[in-house]
Amino acid sequence: MLAEDCLHFNGNETPCCIHPLGQLIAATPEKCNQKCKYYEGYQNCQRCPDLVKSRSQVVWGAGNHTTDIIFVGESPGRLGADKTGVPFKGDNSGKIFEKLLEHLGLKRSQTYITNLVKCCPEKGRAPAPGEIKNCVSWLHQELRNIRPRIIVTVGATATAHFMPISHLGTWVYKPVGISQGRIIVPIYHPAYVSRNGWDLTTYFRVIKQAIEKARKWKR
Protein backbone atom coordinates (compact mmCIF):
# COMPACT_ATOMS: atom_id res chain seq x y z
CA MET A 1 0.00 0.00 0.00
CA LEU A 2 1.27 3.46 -0.85
CA ALA A 3 1.27 6.22 1.74
CA GLU A 4 -1.35 8.04 -0.33
CA ASP A 5 -3.68 5.06 -0.02
CA CYS A 6 -3.45 5.04 3.72
CA LEU A 7 -6.59 6.53 5.22
CA HIS A 8 -4.52 8.26 7.82
CA PHE A 9 -1.99 9.86 5.49
CA ASN A 10 -2.08 13.55 6.28
CA GLY A 11 -1.32 14.84 2.79
CA ASN A 12 2.22 16.05 3.46
CA GLU A 13 5.28 14.35 2.07
CA THR A 14 7.18 13.96 5.35
CA PRO A 15 6.60 13.22 8.10
CA CYS A 16 3.35 11.46 7.51
CA CYS A 17 0.75 9.50 9.29
CA ILE A 18 -0.46 10.92 12.51
CA HIS A 19 -3.10 8.44 13.51
CA PRO A 20 -6.58 9.79 14.39
CA LEU A 21 -6.01 8.80 17.98
CA GLY A 22 -2.93 10.95 18.15
CA GLN A 23 -0.13 8.47 17.78
CA LEU A 24 2.62 9.06 15.25
CA ILE A 25 2.69 5.71 13.49
CA ALA A 26 5.31 6.25 10.84
CA ALA A 27 8.04 8.79 10.36
CA THR A 28 8.09 8.54 6.58
CA PRO A 29 5.46 7.82 3.92
CA GLU A 30 7.23 4.59 2.95
CA LYS A 31 6.45 3.14 6.36
CA CYS A 32 2.89 4.36 6.32
CA ASN A 33 1.39 0.93 5.68
CA GLN A 34 2.09 -0.15 9.23
CA LYS A 35 -1.12 -0.75 11.09
CA CYS A 36 -1.39 1.39 14.16
CA LYS A 37 -1.97 -0.31 17.48
CA TYR A 38 -5.29 1.53 17.76
CA TYR A 39 -6.60 0.27 14.42
CA GLU A 40 -8.09 -2.95 15.81
CA GLY A 41 -9.73 -0.96 18.59
CA TYR A 42 -12.04 0.99 16.39
CA GLN A 43 -12.30 -1.45 13.50
CA ASN A 44 -13.79 -3.96 15.92
CA CYS A 45 -15.89 -1.48 17.86
CA GLN A 46 -18.83 -3.36 19.41
CA ARG A 47 -20.63 -0.49 21.12
CA CYS A 48 -23.81 -0.70 19.02
CA PRO A 49 -25.10 -4.25 18.39
CA ASP A 50 -27.37 -3.23 15.48
CA LEU A 51 -24.61 -1.29 13.74
CA VAL A 52 -22.16 -4.16 14.17
CA LYS A 53 -24.64 -6.24 12.11
CA SER A 54 -25.47 -3.61 9.50
CA ARG A 55 -22.01 -2.22 8.74
CA SER A 56 -19.51 -3.61 6.27
CA GLN A 57 -16.73 -1.78 8.06
CA VAL A 58 -16.10 1.03 10.51
CA VAL A 59 -15.49 4.18 8.49
CA TRP A 60 -13.05 6.48 10.17
CA GLY A 61 -12.53 10.12 9.17
CA ALA A 62 -9.89 10.79 6.55
CA GLY A 63 -7.78 13.70 5.41
CA ASN A 64 -5.42 16.28 6.78
CA HIS A 65 -4.76 16.39 10.50
CA THR A 66 -3.47 19.94 10.52
CA THR A 67 -6.37 21.50 8.64
CA ASP A 68 -8.41 24.36 10.10
CA ILE A 69 -11.65 23.20 8.46
CA ILE A 70 -13.38 19.85 8.77
CA PHE A 71 -16.66 18.39 7.52
CA VAL A 72 -18.86 16.19 9.71
CA GLY A 73 -21.57 14.10 8.03
CA GLU A 74 -24.18 11.84 9.59
CA SER A 75 -23.04 8.23 9.07
CA PRO A 76 -21.51 6.23 6.20
CA GLY A 77 -23.79 5.82 3.19
CA ARG A 78 -24.81 2.25 2.34
CA LEU A 79 -23.76 2.54 -1.33
CA GLY A 80 -20.77 4.78 -0.68
CA ALA A 81 -18.63 5.07 2.44
CA ASP A 82 -19.75 1.71 3.83
CA LYS A 83 -18.26 0.09 0.71
CA THR A 84 -15.29 2.35 0.01
CA GLY A 85 -14.26 2.94 3.63
CA VAL A 86 -13.93 6.68 2.97
CA PRO A 87 -16.54 9.24 4.11
CA PHE A 88 -18.62 10.68 1.28
CA LYS A 89 -17.05 8.53 -1.39
CA GLY A 90 -18.75 6.26 -3.91
CA ASP A 91 -22.41 7.25 -3.84
CA ASN A 92 -24.55 10.13 -5.10
CA SER A 93 -24.00 12.15 -1.92
CA GLY A 94 -20.28 11.61 -2.35
CA LYS A 95 -20.38 12.88 -5.94
CA ILE A 96 -22.16 16.07 -4.88
CA PHE A 97 -19.84 16.44 -1.91
CA GLU A 98 -16.76 16.10 -4.13
CA LYS A 99 -18.13 18.78 -6.48
CA LEU A 100 -18.67 20.98 -3.45
CA LEU A 101 -15.04 20.52 -2.40
CA GLU A 102 -13.96 21.42 -5.92
CA HIS A 103 -16.08 24.55 -5.77
CA LEU A 104 -14.46 25.46 -2.46
CA GLY A 105 -11.01 24.89 -3.95
CA LEU A 106 -10.29 22.11 -1.47
CA LYS A 107 -8.78 18.70 -2.05
CA ARG A 108 -9.60 15.84 0.31
CA SER A 109 -5.97 15.95 1.41
CA GLN A 110 -6.34 19.61 2.44
CA THR A 111 -9.32 19.12 4.73
CA TYR A 112 -10.67 16.37 6.99
CA ILE A 113 -13.95 14.56 6.40
CA THR A 114 -15.67 12.42 8.96
CA ASN A 115 -19.07 11.36 10.28
CA LEU A 116 -20.88 11.72 13.58
CA VAL A 117 -21.44 7.95 13.59
CA LYS A 118 -18.80 5.70 12.05
CA CYS A 119 -20.99 2.74 11.06
CA CYS A 120 -23.72 2.50 8.43
CA PRO A 121 -27.19 1.85 9.88
CA GLU A 122 -29.48 -0.61 8.12
CA LYS A 123 -31.90 0.36 5.35
CA GLY A 124 -30.78 3.97 5.16
CA ARG A 125 -32.18 4.89 8.58
CA ALA A 126 -30.61 7.70 10.57
CA PRO A 127 -28.47 6.70 13.55
CA ALA A 128 -30.49 6.38 16.76
CA PRO A 129 -29.78 8.77 19.67
CA GLY A 130 -28.22 5.91 21.68
CA GLU A 131 -25.91 5.07 18.77
CA ILE A 132 -24.82 8.70 18.49
CA LYS A 133 -24.14 8.74 22.22
CA ASN A 134 -22.09 5.54 21.98
CA CYS A 135 -20.07 6.74 19.01
CA VAL A 136 -19.44 10.37 19.69
CA SER A 137 -16.30 9.91 21.75
CA TRP A 138 -14.55 8.86 18.52
CA LEU A 139 -15.52 12.18 16.92
CA HIS A 140 -14.41 14.10 20.00
CA GLN A 141 -11.10 12.30 19.79
CA GLU A 142 -10.73 13.46 16.17
CA LEU A 143 -11.64 17.03 17.17
CA ARG A 144 -9.13 17.06 20.03
CA ASN A 145 -6.48 15.84 17.67
CA ILE A 146 -7.11 18.14 14.73
CA ARG A 147 -8.39 21.19 16.62
CA PRO A 148 -10.14 22.72 13.59
CA ARG A 149 -11.34 26.31 13.70
CA ILE A 150 -14.29 25.68 11.36
CA ILE A 151 -16.57 22.66 11.60
CA VAL A 152 -18.96 22.32 8.67
CA THR A 153 -21.85 20.19 9.89
CA VAL A 154 -23.40 18.36 6.96
CA GLY A 155 -27.12 17.88 7.57
CA ALA A 156 -29.46 18.19 10.53
CA THR A 157 -28.20 15.19 12.51
CA ALA A 158 -24.59 16.36 12.61
CA THR A 159 -25.64 19.95 13.27
CA ALA A 160 -27.88 18.89 16.18
CA HIS A 161 -24.88 17.36 17.90
CA PHE A 162 -23.16 20.73 18.11
CA MET A 163 -26.11 23.00 18.86
CA PRO A 164 -29.73 22.73 19.91
CA ILE A 165 -31.73 22.78 16.70
CA SER A 166 -35.31 21.77 16.10
CA HIS A 167 -35.16 22.75 12.45
CA LEU A 168 -32.00 23.06 10.37
CA GLY A 169 -33.62 25.77 8.20
CA THR A 170 -33.24 28.30 11.03
CA TRP A 171 -29.48 27.86 11.22
CA VAL A 172 -28.37 26.72 7.82
CA TYR A 173 -25.49 28.68 6.21
CA LYS A 174 -25.19 30.91 9.30
CA PRO A 175 -21.82 30.51 11.02
CA VAL A 176 -22.19 30.14 14.78
CA GLY A 177 -19.40 30.45 17.32
CA ILE A 178 -19.15 27.73 19.95
CA SER A 179 -16.65 27.03 22.71
CA GLN A 180 -12.87 27.13 22.25
CA GLY A 181 -13.09 29.64 19.38
CA ARG A 182 -14.68 27.10 17.08
CA ILE A 183 -17.14 28.10 14.41
CA ILE A 184 -19.91 25.81 13.23
CA VAL A 185 -21.17 26.22 9.67
CA PRO A 186 -24.35 24.16 9.25
CA ILE A 187 -25.22 23.11 5.70
CA TYR A 188 -27.90 20.92 4.14
CA HIS A 189 -26.93 17.33 3.46
CA PRO A 190 -26.23 16.55 -0.25
CA ALA A 191 -28.78 13.71 -0.09
CA TYR A 192 -31.46 16.19 1.02
CA VAL A 193 -30.51 18.67 -1.69
CA SER A 194 -30.60 15.93 -4.31
CA ARG A 195 -33.95 14.53 -3.07
CA ASN A 196 -35.48 17.99 -3.33
CA GLY A 197 -33.98 18.61 -6.76
CA TRP A 198 -32.34 21.83 -5.63
CA ASP A 199 -29.95 23.77 -7.80
CA LEU A 200 -26.42 22.65 -6.98
CA THR A 201 -24.75 25.83 -8.18
CA THR A 202 -26.71 27.84 -5.64
CA TYR A 203 -26.03 25.21 -2.94
CA PHE A 204 -22.26 25.44 -3.58
CA ARG A 205 -22.30 29.23 -3.75
CA VAL A 206 -24.09 29.78 -0.43
CA ILE A 207 -21.83 27.31 1.33
CA LYS A 208 -18.75 29.05 -0.04
CA GLN A 209 -20.09 32.41 1.15
CA ALA A 210 -20.84 31.00 4.63
CA ILE A 211 -17.33 29.55 4.94
CA GLU A 212 -15.75 32.80 3.74
CA LYS A 213 -17.75 34.65 6.37
CA ALA A 214 -16.60 32.22 9.07
CA ARG A 215 -12.98 32.63 7.97
CA LYS A 216 -13.23 36.39 8.48
CA TRP A 217 -14.34 36.08 12.09
CA LYS A 218 -11.85 37.47 14.55
CA ARG A 219 -10.17 34.98 16.84
Rg of the chain's alpha carbons, rounded to an integer? 17
d(CA 22, CA 153): 23
Minimum Å gap between C-beta 216 and ligand URA is 28
Comparing CB distances to ligand URA, the nearer of 39 and 88 is 88
Q: Which of 64, 84, 111, 115 binds ligand URA (CB under 6 A)?
A: 115
Comparing CB distances to ligand URA, the nearer of 29 and 77 is 77
Q: Which of 74, 96, 135, 150 binds ligand URA (CB under 6 A)?
A: 74
Asked if 127 touches ligand URA (CB under 6 A), the answer is no
Asked if 159 touches ligand URA (CB under 6 A), the answer is no
> Within 10 A of 96 (CB to CB), how many other CB atoms are there?
18
Q: How many chain residues bind ligand URA (CB under 6 A)?
A: 11
Minimum Å gap between C-beta 87 and ligand URA is 4
Q: Which of 11, 61, 80, 121 binds ligand URA (CB under 6 A)?
A: 80
Asked if 69 touches ligand URA (CB under 6 A), the answer is no
Minimum Å gap between C-beta 114 and ligand URA is 8
Q: In terms of DSSP H, where are the helices of the chain? A: 39-43, 49-54, 81-84, 92-104, 129-146, 156-162, 168-171, 190-195, 200-216
Burial of 193 (0-12, 13-18, 19+ CB in 10 A): buried
Torsion (CA) 67, 148, 204, 99 in degrees, nearest 10: 40
Helix (H, G, I), strand (E, B) or coil at 142: helix
**Positions in the binding site for ligand URA (CB under 6 A):** 73-77, 80-81, 87-88, 93, 115
